[in-house]
Homo-oligomer: A and B are copies of this chain.
Amino acid sequence: MKKYELVANDIKAKIISGYYAKGSILPDQKTLAEDFAVSKITIKNALDNLANAGFVLKTSGFGTVVIGPSTLITDKDAPASNFEGLTDQAGAERVASKVIKFDLEFPSAEVKTHLNINDEEPVYHIIRLRLLDGDPFIIENTYMPVALVPGLSQSVLESSIYTYIHDTLHLKFAGISRNIQARQADELDMRYLNVSKNSAILEIEQIVWLVNGKPIEYSTSRNDSNKRSYYLFETM
């Protein structure tokens, strides 16, 4: 494990235990560097991590102050970075998938744009209902270039696409961009998510990139708003 991770974990533990109280100011970076017997830049890296996670605020000229963990985080929150997919998040035994649609298509103008491909490149069009502990949880509407994900099958769709991509195809995700919106429930939502007419739906539209810079997924996920929200933290 990296030095700055060790330092970050140590400080984080002291924040959670109350040793560093919410609202208090941490020792300055030079002192921390001496205490942990590491360089100042290693301390900075550690504090940067804690700042990104919303545990501390750093201000030049002032110091580093403890603010977290956030009171806005709930158990409904989608994980900050959920590259793993639902199966890895919740555990395979809790997740089931019902395949609603599994087709091959030429990409629409929208899909072409988001996946950065040509007219002729075929894509999978997949609609799945994901169930968590047997209850309807997400409807995923996914497009993937066939060239990048060969051999996709019904049985893969019924378990985990991400596991197939990682373990079988040995492809690695590098980034994800999301657009979050509120929507009114449509026919599909009412039918599969078990929500009433007009209820609110949280929609997450996303593009997933591989390490080599190619978009491998363009998808739209819809949740019952009562079952999911989205947390994030930003510094100035």
Contact = CB atoms under 8 A, between A and B. Distances in A.
Interface of A: 22-25, 51, 54, 57, 59, 62, 65-67, 70-74, 77, 80-81, 83, 113-114, 116, 172-184, 197-203, 205-207, 209, 211-215, 225, 229-236
A188 to B, nearest CB: 15
Given A174-B236, A175-B54, A198-B198, A229 B67 contact: no
A114 B213 contact: no
Given A67-B215, A230-B230, 13 more contacts: A23-B214, A57-B211, A57-B213, A59-B174, A65-B213, A70-B207, A72-B206, A80-B234, A81-B234, A174-B235, A177-B232, A182-B202, A182-B203
Contacts of A66: 213
A203 B182 CA distance: 8
Chain A, interface SS category: strand
Contacts of A25: 213
A225 B67 CA distance: 31
A126 to B, nearest CB: 19
20 contacts: A22-B116, A25-B213, A54-B175, A54-B177, A57-B174, A65-B211, A72-B177, A72-B205, A72-B206, A81-B236, A175-B236, A178-B232, A178-B234, A182-B182, A182-B183, A182-B203, A184-B198, A198-B198, A230-B230, A232-B232
A193 to B, nearest CB: 12
Contacts of A59: 172, 174, 211
A165 to B, nearest CB: 14
